[in-house]
Amino acid sequence: MGLYRTEALVLRSRKYAETDSLLTLLTQKRGKVKAIAKGVRKSKSSLRGGVQLFTHNEMLLYEGRNLDIVTQSQCLEAFTTVQDDMAAMTAACYWCELLDSFVPEGEKDIRLFMLALAGFHILALDYQELVMRALEIKLLFQLGYMPDLVHCVSCGRSLQGEQQIAFSARRGGVLCATCLEGDALAFTPEALKIWQQLQQLEFSKLKRLKVTSSGLHILDEVLEKFLLVQLERPLKSRPILKEIWQAKKS
């Protein structure tokens, strides 16, 4: 046990004791950790600016037996545009929930930290549905949860050129027309192509994609079911974000 300095993203914050906060942090050096910010809810606390939700900070923490303790924190980026818009804030809450749900504690992964940070950067600029699908897919890929999108998960046949395909969240991949099952979800070559493109493309190139509303809707339904199967529970902020997007469209 001892002090360590690291960059950290605040994924979650909740009240703890009378004036403390319990934080869930994604750190550059220690992966996901739980930490106490002592006295941070006091009006004169020197920590307040560096432990807010959706912030990127440089922190000095003391490694405790069960919970680490934030001793110093300097805010590097606050992503204020995310906090000024309800839809953007909900998208950021969903990104935090995704990270908190999928990332195990205590496993250092620099590429994951950089993806998480990039997620906040892009959500501060653009929180549209395609961006959120890209974040979901890139996170799944980074953590090794990707389904088989090339071969039928039932018979093993390559699906290149197939026009009738489905997706089995339970089996973890695509199905050919011959192997369709009752719980399989409707899938299309367009939705499949979008998934593959979002996995590979840099965020700066997302606007180049030509995506129909139908293709994006199918991808959304498939990802929602796949995430549910992987976590074995629904993500709370995802349906709220969908409602906000639908209300904007109407």
CB 175 within 8 A of CB 151: no
The proportion of the chain whose per-residue pLDDT surpasses 70, expressed as a percent, equals: 100
| pLDDT tens digits, 123-139 | 999 889 999 999 999 99
3-80, what's its fold? OB fold (Dihydrolipoamide Acetyltransferase, E2P) (2.40.50)
Segment 37-46 shows an average pLDDT of 89
CB burial of residue 100 (10 Å; 0-12, 13-18, 19+): middle
Q: Where are the domains of the chain?
A: 3-80, 128-249
Paired sense of beta strands 68-77 and 31-37, if any? parallel
| pLDDT tens digits, 224-249 | 999 999 999 999 999 999 999 988 87
Q: Domain 128-249 belongs to what architecture?
A: Up-down Bundle (1.20)
pLDDT for the residue 161: 79
pLDDT of residue 1 exceeding 70, the answer is no
CB 97 within 8 A of CB 237: yes
Q: Do domains 3-80 and 128-249 have the same CATH topology?
A: no
More confident residue, 80 or 160: 80
Question: Average per-residue pLDDT in the chain?
Answer: 94
The confidence band for 26, taking pLDDT boundaries of 50, 70 and 90, is: very high
DSSP H helical ranges for the chain: 80-83, 86-102, 110-123, 129-143, 189-200, 213-231, 237-249
pLDDT for the residue 123: 94
pLDDT for the residue 46: 87
The proportion of the chain whose per-residue pLDDT surpasses 90, expressed as a percent, equals: 81
pLDDT for the residue 211: 94
Q: What does residue 68 show for φ and ψ, rounded to 5 degrees?
A: -80, 165
Q: What is the pTM of this model?
A: 0.94
| pLDDT tens digits, 49-89 | 899 999 999 999 999 888 999 999 999 999 988 888 899 99
CB 52 within 8 A of CB 58: no
Q: For residue 16, what are the β-bridge partners? A: 20
Q: What does residue 184 show for φ and ψ, rounded to 5 degrees?
A: -70, 145
What is each CA distance from 64 to 46, 69, 74, in whole angstroms? 21, 7, 21
| pLDDT tens digits, 170-222 | 999 999 999 988 889 999 999 999 999 999 999 999 989 999 999 999 999 99
